């Protein structure tokens, strides 16, 4: 990274058990040509390392996507230290289905926002970061529009297939 240049997106998660979901954010960024750095840092299990990470994030990233599960303090604590936008991704959990993670991330006190996506919403976290970056980047905006248009084409194809097969044979 050249001096002064920021990596557009930092992706951070509390554990490798979050990787599958956070990988969806990475896939979107890869597909749309947005550079990112991905780290596993636990706010609870290594608080000093986490604090250093969040402080350095100010000079390193434009946006941080933070995913965590259970008592998911990583996104909120990142937002308390990092000055840029934080997108929070609540992980689905085995005990409480991810509502624990969701409430931990979405219920931030006034003054410290975290833009929270759905439980396991890694892909939308990536897309939200792309939308933010595209506000200042016309080429990225064009790539984003193509991505959106491809989604539309996929739905149109599904409907065409449904009209041909009928609902009984659609999945056969």
Residues that bind ligand RP5 (CB under 6 A): 13-15, 17-18, 42, 44, 68-70, 91
Between 71 and 148, CB nearer to ligand RP5:
71
Shortest Å distance, C-beta 72 to ligand RP5: 6
**What gap in Å lies between CA 73 and CA 59, rounded to an integer?**
22
Shortest Å distance, C-beta 119 to ligand RP5: 11
Between 44 and 60, CB nearer to ligand RP5:
44
Between 69 and 88, CB nearer to ligand RP5:
69
Dig out the tokens for 26 from the structure.
């990475």
**What gap in Å lies between CA 95 and CA 150, rounded to an integer?**
37
- At which residue do the structure tokens 């390392």 appear? 49
Shortest Å distance, C-beta 23 to ligand RP5: 14
**What gap in Å lies between CA 107 and CA 109, rounded to an integer?**
7
Between 73 and 140, CB nearer to ligand RP5:
73
Shortest Å distance, C-beta 17 to ligand RP5: 3
Under DSSP, is residue 55 helix (H, G, I), strand (E, B) or coil? helix
- At which residue do the structure tokens 């965590």 appear? 68
Residues 105 and 68: beta-carbon distance below 8 Å: yes
């Amino acid at each position: 990274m050249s001096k002064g240049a920021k990596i557009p997106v930092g992706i951070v998660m509390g554990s490798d058990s979050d990787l599958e979901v956070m990988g969806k954010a990475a896939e979107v960024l890869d597909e749309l040509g947005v550079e990112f750095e991905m780290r596993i840092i636990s706010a609870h299990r290594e608080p000093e390392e986490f604090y250093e990470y969040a402080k350095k994030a100010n000079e390193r990233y434009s946006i941080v996507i933070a995913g965590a599960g259970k008592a998911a303090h990583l996104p909120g604590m990142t937002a308390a230290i990092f000055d840029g936008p934080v997108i929070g991704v609540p992980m689905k959990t085995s005990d409480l289905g991810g509502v624990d993670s969701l409430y931990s991330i979405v219920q931030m006190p006034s003054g410290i926002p975290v833009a929270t996506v759905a439980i396991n919403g890694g892909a939308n976290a990536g897309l939200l970061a792309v939308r933010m970056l595209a506000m200042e980047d016309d080429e990225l905006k064009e790539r984003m529009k193509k991505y959106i248009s491809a989604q539309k084409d996929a739905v149109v194809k599904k409907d065409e297939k449904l009209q041909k097969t009928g609902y009984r044979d659609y999945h056969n």
